[in-house]
Chain A
Amino acid sequence: MATRLQFENNCEVGVFSKLTNAYCLVAIGGSESFYSIFETELADVIPVVKTSIGGTRIIGRLCAGNKNGLLLPHNTTDQELQHLRNSLPDSVVVQRIEERLSALGNVIACNDHVALAHTDLDRETEELIADVLGVEVFRQTIAGNILVGSYCALSNRGGLVHPHTSIEDLDELSTLLQIPLVAGTVNRGSEVIAAGMTVNDWTAFCGSDTTATELSVIESVFKLREAQPSAIVDEMRKSLIDSYV
């Protein structure tokens, strides 16, 4: 189910929050309404953590993570790092990395299995991503833009990319990521997808400017209509048990 909300009258919710299958990070705002909406949706399923990164509120664009881990930029303070380590479940590896391109949310787009990286990313960072997040990393561009983390939003079930992406690019990315992709917009025609929304396998949060058309596209590509959180978690459990000896 997709929800529409605003952070302090700004529709770019993907900037102020980070949503994964295992946890949710929320920025500290003037009013509690932003946090409370997330909590209403997610409280009984996954932890919702209020935090800042490097003293800033733009946490969604500074960190990159999935259910396996969380990567933080070099300017994260020790207190924030400790706070996150404490609040998040033990299965999530929290790691601070030294990387020149410190807005990790803009340079890395990932789901639980595969990640797209900025073409100029360091070798070590790429290895760290593969290690910490447990994903396969591909250097890519989206519609000619190197900030892959900004122009696409991925979940395990689908992805939404920049509207100017050509059909060949779309096919290539879809093959790489092994998920259905669609080119579309969010927040009334904004092309910066990841800044305008944040998504996981069963829910999505979009800016309140998002039109009904955009919302229906989001719901259909991320397969949110019939999604229930418990179903996902059960499925995960099933797949875990699968590896029983």
Chain B
Amino acid sequence: MDEDKGMFNVQQTIGTVLCCRCGIRMQPNAANMCVRCLRSEVDITEGLQKHVVISHCPECDCYLQPPKTWLKAQWESKELLTFCVKRLKNLNKVRLIHAEFVWTEPHSKRIKVRVTIQKEVLNGAVLEQAYVVEYVQQDHMCESCSRVAANPDQWVASVQLRQHVSHRRTFFYLEQLILKHDAAVKAIKIKQMDQGIDFFFGNRSHAVKFLEFLGSVVPTKSRDDKQLVSHDVKSSNYNYKYTFSVQISPVCREDLICLPQRLSSSLGNIGPLVVCTKVTNSIALLDPFTLRHCHLDSDQYWRHGFKSLLTSRQLVEYIVLDIEIPSPPMEAKIGGVRYLLADAQVARVSDFGRNDNIFFVRTHLGHLLNPGDHALGYDLYAANSNDSELEKYKNLVLPEVVLIKKSYEEARLRKRGKPRKYKLKHLEMEVDDRARVDEEKERSDYEQFQRDIEENPELRFNLSLYRNKEYQEESEAGSMADDAAAPLEELLADLVLLDESDEEEDEGMRE
């Protein structure tokens, strides 16, 4: 803008002067000394820390920031650099320009940082200097690691899962679900108890998370409690052990239930006898004679707390003599499964051929059964039920038989002894010595469970099945045409299941 006014501006070239100490030519600066002389005169790093001791926990690779914080940082990472610079005192008097690590041998327990600082000296000249700070790394276990090391089994929260039924089918199913969703990854210990499983966690929040997972897959009722372990007076820290007691509903799939009168009327007068078709976080009930169905929430169920009339242990095998489908056919599609009401003539397998006991029953399995098939059902004719709910119904006519499912026993007989196509993974559980474990019962329960998942595709939906390498393809055409077994395509194909491997590809089931 000076040019606009017509002023003539002389170009100013800075000349050189001699450094007043060493006499070399230099540009004039505030101190009029060359940089080397200035640096030798004044040391701006005087009074700054050059040697610091830091504490490091070898177990979890954390560094102590006094008084109590432990910072996790990798060797020669940005977080470690920030931490190291923060530990230098007096650095607020000078300006920090740059800091970087100088390589040291990792096991020398020394960290070296080159710090570049700027400070004003003499009469306004700003001097920049780099210097190296050495950190001695002392090993010191942090509190959480020492607590874990002192007592590795120490748990803080436990979830006690119980179901008061005589079989363990639910727990087998739950085991597979937990494995699929990795819900028990954080568990320190898992223990198998009588009528249930105990899970132990190191943190209350892990236990709560697991509890919520359980609540979403089975209908549960839970309560929690805590026990004081230790108490620090000075800091008012209380250490507790938390216990969550979870009860799963005793109603299982395929159970015959007699609904209490009040519940039956509130659900729209659904017949007091219902069959439980599916148990997730709600219970699905089906009236086998009218094909009406309903769902009961976890809360709703626990408000009434009814038990099953007959469970799957009491299933009896029947042979179907005749099936008549009334016209117009009454069918319903519930939960993706078709049901068809039909009149059936059945006889117990034990009676068959010996006497002429034939029962005429209405069944909801009209779509599955054909004359000559075997079916499993509840024998109400011969059963002696001791149920208070049942007695409350004045004018109830009990059917003689309630058929539940088709039996594949004959087909199974053919395959007996041969290994299955698939394998299931197991949770690592400790077996409690105090529990009375019946080996035989356990095995038959498991066998039953496996049959269940073979027959029911919707049950398989949530689980992960793995291909069994020991299974050999049989040349018999008959075994392959078995519609009961899980088809090979449904198995997780590209999977190498070694018992100790932990890297499997889980494709998930596709229906």
Contact = CB atoms under 8 A, between A and B. Distances in A.
A126 interface: no
A191 B32 contact: yes
Interface stretch (B20-28, B316-324, B360-368, B442-450): B20-28
B10 A168 contact: yes
A227 to B, nearest CB: 21
A217 B436 CA distance: 107
A163 B28 contact: yes
B32 A163 contact: yes
Contact of B20 (A168, A170, A183, A188): A188
A84 to B, nearest CB: 35
Interface string B1-22: 0000000001111110111111
A183 B12 contact: no
A155 interface: no
B20 A213 contact: yes
Nearest to A215: B20
A189 interface: yes
A197 to B, nearest CB: 13
A213 B19 contact: yes
26 contacts: A163-B32, A165-B15, A166-B13, A166-B14, A166-B15, A167-B13, A167-B14, A167-B15, A168-B11, A170-B15, A183-B15, A183-B28, A184-B18, A185-B17, A185-B20, A185-B32, A188-B20, A189-B20, A189-B122, A190-B32, A191-B32, A212-B23, A213-B18, A213-B20, A213-B22, A217-B18
Task: Give the dominant DSSP class at A's interface.
Answer: mixed
Contacts of B11: 168
Interface residues of A, number: 21
Q: Point out which of A167, A189, A216 has the most chain B C-beta atoms below 10 A from its C-beta.
A: A189
B20 A169 contact: no
Interface string B103-122: 00000000000000000001
A201 to B, nearest CB: 23
Nearest to A213: B23
Contacts of B12: 166, 168-169
B10 A183 contact: no
Interface string B72-100: 00000000000000000000000000000
A214 B14 contact: no
Contacts of A213: 18-23
A100 interface: no
A213 B34 CA distance: 12
Given A167-B13, A211-B20, A212-B23, 4 more contacts: A167-B15, A183-B17, A213-B23, A217-B18
B24 to A, nearest CB: 9
Contacts of B122: 189
Contacts of A184: 17-18
A189 B19 CA distance: 8
B263 interface: no
B250 to A, nearest CB: 96
Contacts of A225: none
Interface in B111-153: 122
Contact of A189 (B13, B15, B32): B32
B33 interface: yes
B300 to A, nearest CB: 92
Contacts of B32: 163, 185, 189-191
